[in-house]
Amino acid sequence: MRLLILGTGWMAQQHARQFGNIEGVELAGAVDIEPSRVDELSDTYGIPNRFTSLEDALTWGKFDAAANITPDRIHHPTTMKLIAAGKPVLCEKPLAENYVKASEMADAAERAGIINMVNLTYRNVAPLQKAREMVLAGEIGAVKHVEASYLQSWLVSKFWGDWRTDPKWLWRLSRGHGSNGVLGDVGIHILDFASYGAGLDIEHVFCRLKTFDKAPDNRIGEYELDANDSFTMALDFTNGALGVVHASRWATGHLNELRLRIFGDRGGIEVVHNLKGSELKVCIGGNIEDALWKTLDSGSVPTNYQRFVDAVRSGVPAEPSFRHAAELQKVLDLAVVAAERRAELTTHADTQ
Ligand SMILES: NC(=O)c1ccc[n+]([C@@H]2O[C@H](COP(=O)([O-])OP(=O)(O)OC[C@H]3O[C@@H](n4cnc5c(N)ncnc54)[C@H](O)[C@@H]3O)[C@@H](O)[C@H]2O)c1
């Protein structure tokens, strides 16, 4: 399978590494509007064909599928062009900046009948998959309560570079540069982690968003620092369970950590994933009497990259699809309105 990498910034290195390690996958071409970036990635990973526009890459056309790793607001226009050209796409998250655009992408991909996936990275976490299997098998009984968090600390630590000077962080702080803040950046990850892990669909949403002052006049150069830094969300699910989901870039002491706790009437499950690894703990059976938790081995699961390649080769669609990401985007859009109105909203109504 010949792959085109579209957008050769930070996350593209992960795609190049992961796809490059899959047997039979050739990194055939790379595109970035910044020539120095396309050269850097291509030199590092031996990519022979380099372009500074998607249009030029499409005219060349010698690729079977594309990984779209451009900034959030570029996903929609570029993916629509790839779909029109009949190319399967693994698109980075969030699929688009809003539900309307995300569902347009899902509609177009489905109409064209092409393989479409969104890189919800934490599907690669084996304990998450095992937790879901256990919930769906009824091992913890009826789920009553869910707690999930996504904690990052890049506004207080320089582990991944200094946000004050690094464009890859500055665009994430600025609505004018296409960012919906922490909600748009990692909200989709933690909503997927919570709802997929617990095997539940979200019905109602209430959300609070917060943007803290960070620089004089909240501006650095061309970047107005107006995107949200923290959110807290209250959810209820279609089975009647309640959920609390939150995320922050101010979570001092947590570089990148997702946690999910699922409580059923016959057991509890906890998944923790951070840069050191991931863990699954359960409290079930007789252990619920004295709250004894046991760590379980979850084995390993194929990555999204591998599953995308398998889907392109076999023609059999795989999840998470554009449609799934669009449905999560609907919850994120509702969260913004809920925060503005300080009111709970439902995922069922088309307009509220
Ligand atoms: N799945 C994950 O866990 C995960 C992690 C990090 C980032 N991401 C996502 O990956 C995407 C890229 O993030 P990043 O951190 O690599 O950003 P980045 O700014 O480092 O890289 C984006 C690159 O896209 C290029 N670009 C912009 N417009 C383009 C266009 N029209 N055509 C081609 N290239 C274009 C930029 O020049 C830049 O080199 C974002 O959507 C982000 O949300 C996902």
Q: Best substitution site from 69, 76, 274 to test ligand 1's pocket, by max atoms within 8 Å of Cβ?
A: 69
Residue 15 Cα to ligand 1 middle (Å):
11
Q: How confident is the model at residue 348 (pLDDT cuts 50, 70, 90)?
A: confident
Rounded average pLDDT over 299-303 = 97
Residue 236 Cα to ligand 1 middle (Å):
32
Write out pLDDT tens, residues 126-140: 999 999 999 999 999
In angstroms, rounded to a whole number, what is the distance separating the alpha carbons of residues 342 and 183?
A: 16
Let me know how long the chain is.
352
Q: Best substitution site from 32, 82, 89 to test ligand 1's pocket, by max atoms within 8 Å of Cβ?
A: 32
CATH class of the domain comprising 125-302+331-346: alpha beta
Residue 38 Cα to ligand 1 middle (Å):
12
Average confidence score pLDDT of the chain? 96
Q: Where in the chain is the domain with CATH 3.30.360.10?
A: 125-302+331-346
In angstroms, rounded to a whole number, what is the distance separating the alpha carbons of residues 345 and 233?
A: 12
Q: How confident is the model at residue 351 (pLDDT cuts 50, 70, 90)?
A: very low
Alpha helices (H) in 139-296, listed in sequence order? 167-170, 181-198
Residue 94 Cα to ligand 1 middle (Å):
11
In angstroms, rounded to a whole number, what is the distance separating the alpha carbons of residues 166 and 182?
A: 17
- For atom 2 of ligand 1, the residue with the nearest CA is 121
Q: Are strands 345-346 and 294-296 parallel, antiparallel or unpaired?
A: unpaired
**Residue 141 falls in which region: left (phi positive, over 0), alpha (psi -120 to 50) or beta:** left
Q: How confident is the model at residue 349 (pLDDT cuts 50, 70, 90)?
A: low
Neighbours of 42 (CB within 10 A): 21
**Can you tell me which atom of ligand 1 is nearest the CA of 70?**
24
- For atom 6 of ligand 1, the residue with the nearest CA is 11
Write out pLDDT tens, residues 198-236: 999 999 999 999 999 999 999 999 999 999 999 999 999
Residue 313 Cα to ligand 1 middle (Å):
26
* Residue 295, both tokens: 């760590």
Q: Best substitution site from 4, 70, 95, 192 to test ligand 1's pocket, by max atoms within 8 Å of Cβ?
A: 70
Q: Are strands 2-6 and 65-68 parallel, antiparallel or unpaired?
A: parallel
Amino acid at 208: R
Residue 10 Cα to ligand 1 middle (Å):
7
Does position 335 have pLDDT exceeding 60, yes or no? yes
Q: Work out the end-to-end distance of the chain between its first and last CA atoms, rounded to an integer number of angstroms.
A: 45
Does position 157 have pLDDT exceeding 80, yes or no? yes
Ligand 1: residues whose CB is within 6 Å? Answer: 6-12, 31-34, 37, 54, 69-72, 74, 78, 92-93, 119, 121, 168, 185
Q: How confident is the model at residue 178 (pLDDT cuts 50, 70, 90)?
A: confident
**Can you tell me which atom of ligand 1 is nearest the CA of 37?**
39
Q: Report the CATH number of the 2-121+307-316 domain.
A: 3.40.50.720
**Can you tell me which atom of ligand 1 is nearest the CA of 78?**
31
Alpha helices (H) in the chain, listed in sequence order? 10-20, 35-45, 54-60, 72-84, 99-112, 126-136, 167-170, 181-198, 304-314, 322-341
Rounded average pLDDT over 110-137 = 98
Q: How confident is the model at residue 105 (pLDDT cuts 50, 70, 90)?
A: very high
Q: What backbone phi and psi angles, to 5 degrees, belong to 313? A: -70, -40
Q: Where in the chain is the domain with CATH 3.40.50.720?
A: 2-121+307-316
Alpha-carbon radius of gyration of the chain? 20
Write out pLDDT tens, residues 36-86: 999 999 999 999 999 999 999 999 999 999 999 999 999 999 999 999 999
**Can you tell me which atom of ligand 1 is nearest the CA of 167?**
19
* Residue 92, both tokens: 């980075």
Write out pLDDT tens, residues 241-289: 999 999 999 999 999 999 999 999 999 999 999 999 999 999 999 999 9
Q: Best substitution site from 4, 6, 11 to test ligand 1's pocket, by max atoms within 8 Å of Cβ?
A: 11
Q: Best substitution site from 5, 6, 8, 10 to test ligand 1's pocket, by max atoms within 8 Å of Cβ?
A: 10
Instruction: State the residue for tokens 């503005």.
Output: 340
In angstroms, rounded to a whole number, what is the distance separating the alpha carbons of residues 194 and 258?
A: 10
Neighbours of 296 (CB within 10 A): 15
